[in-house]
Structure 1
Amino acid sequence: MADERRNERENEHREGYRGTGPGVITPDGCAVDMYARLPVGDEPEVIAGAVPPGASLLELGCGVGRVTHPLLERGFRVTAVDESAEMLARVRGARTVRSPIERLDLGERFDVVLLASFLIHAGSLDVRRGLLDACRRHVAADGCVLIQREGENWQTNVPRERPLGKDGLVRVASATPVAEGVNRVHVEYEFPDARWTQTFLSRPMDRAEFEQALAEAGLAVDDYLTEDRIWVRARPVAA
């Protein structure tokens, strides 16, 4: 309970974003201990199948390294970026950089820039533009940006739940409109010994809106990598 009160106080400055539960919770509502429990899905396979072997990869919003570590095992050279020191402390084997994504400027270019975890759906248009500008700023001229976007009914098919690993459950409890084009999404994570919640702002985008956002950042879709069009490979557009 003391952890939850401390976390809520620390998160008051980020309106619309909140997390509850044991352990450290970042200002955007992410529970570090909960993210460390999440199983690895098919993300590493999708990424490895879309880019050259051994590519240099900039992972934006790496969290605790759930995807970072499998990518390292597959031979990729990963620079992992997150604004949370507590998240980065769980990352092993990668070069790590602590920074908000929107302000990141390493003065380097990478074969691949990775923007996963639905970050493209940031509730703030300014934040979304900042994320895509960071992608464009760091991708090599002949490189690519891999983006994970929401399924097109992700915020309308609620409530819903699914298993999480062997003994967990994740439930998208609600997606409530709070401003034009923006929903407040509430997610619950349950395990036998702990429970966390996360509330955040998200801006749904259909395919046309998504491709327009990319165009404004100097990027263009090269391929939709999965049948559901959740994973996308984009390329920089020559100036």
Structure 2
Amino acid sequence: MTEALREGHHGTGPGAITPDGCAVDLYLRLPARNEPDVIERALPAGATLLELGAGAGRVTGPLAARGFAVTAVDESRAMLDRVEARVPGVRTVHSPIESLDLGERFDAVMLASFLVHAPEPAKRQALLRACRRHVADGGHVLLQREGEGWHTGLPREAPLGDGVSRVLSSQEVSPGVRSVHVEYVFPDARWTQTFLSRPLTAAEFTEALADAGLAVDTYLTEDGTWVRALPV
């Protein structure tokens, strides 16, 4: 099953494909890597955490196991089905992030998976306003952004368990917007994803946060990909 694809996004391979071209069965194989460690160090123990774009629960499970009270949000019902199977009892919400309004605030809100690089500035700002709308006064917003040079030096390859991921190309398709093509190859399966990304300089990123009522507090990783912001 393939959900209605967003313009400029495409995915191939076994299983369901989400609107942004992500393959659900692929996301079940992706490791959490260092994300739970980065997040745990950035937040108070036992914090309530709104995870925007939870996918198949790659990070949801480890965070719940570390004592965070996670509410997992995703626009894909197929992804949330996997979250609920992997993390029994976790609270899930099936909704687009941009229009989400739960009427409550959380100690922390997380927007990972480079979602802040949405190709349309209006959508990016709607995502950031959803973060601001749900974070408590004195709380934290954690964001994952592309590292410097992410769109250059391609193709680029990285090991992925018993498989490999390859960023094959990144081509400008309109002013400021790039089409990125990635493949994931395992001994028993192959997936591809094509998606759109709007790279942001550090200054542009800071300005986008400010327009949504947020301010950079600190960069959490040396490569600048994880950022903690505060409501202002």
Same fold (TM over 0.5): yes
Paired-residue identity, %: 68
Distance 1:230 1:104 in 2: 25
**Paired residue secondary structure (2:14):** coil
Q: Which runs of 5+ in 2 are unaligned?
A: none
Which residue of 2 is the match for residue 224 of structure 1?
219
Which residue of 2 is the match for residue 103 of structure 1?
99
State the Cα deviation string for residues 176-205 of structure 1 (Å, max 9, x = none): 100110000000000000000000000001
What is the aligned counterpart of 2:176 among 162, 166, 181?
181
Moved more, 102-111 or 156-165: 156-165
Matched-pair contact (CA < 8 Å) for 1:219–1:234 = yes
Matched-pair contact (CA < 8 Å) for 1:135–1:145 = yes
Distance 1:198 1:11 in 2: 15
State yes or no: 1:35 paired with 2:23.
Answer: no
Distance 1:80 1:198 in 2: 23
Distance 1:121 1:218 in 2: 18
| CA drift at 1:119 | 0.6
Question: What RMSD over aligned residues (CA atoms) do the two structures have, in Å?
Answer: 0.9
Which residue of 1 is the match for residue 190 of structure 2?
195
**Which 4+ runs in 1 deviate beyond 3 A?**
none
| CA drift at 1:157 | 2.4
Look up the equivalent residue of 1:140 and give its one-letter code: A
Which residue of 2 is the match for residue 70 of structure 1?
62
State the Cα deviation string for residues 98-148 of structure 1 (Å, max 9, x = none): 000001000000000000111110111111011000000000011010001
State the Cα deviation string for residues 21-76 of structure 1 (Å, max 9, x = none): 11000111010000000112100000000000000000000001000000000000
Which residue of 2 is the match for residue 3 of structure 1?
none
Q: Which runs of 5+ in 1 are unaligned?
A: 1-5
What TM-score does the superposition give when structure 2 sets the normalisation length? 0.96
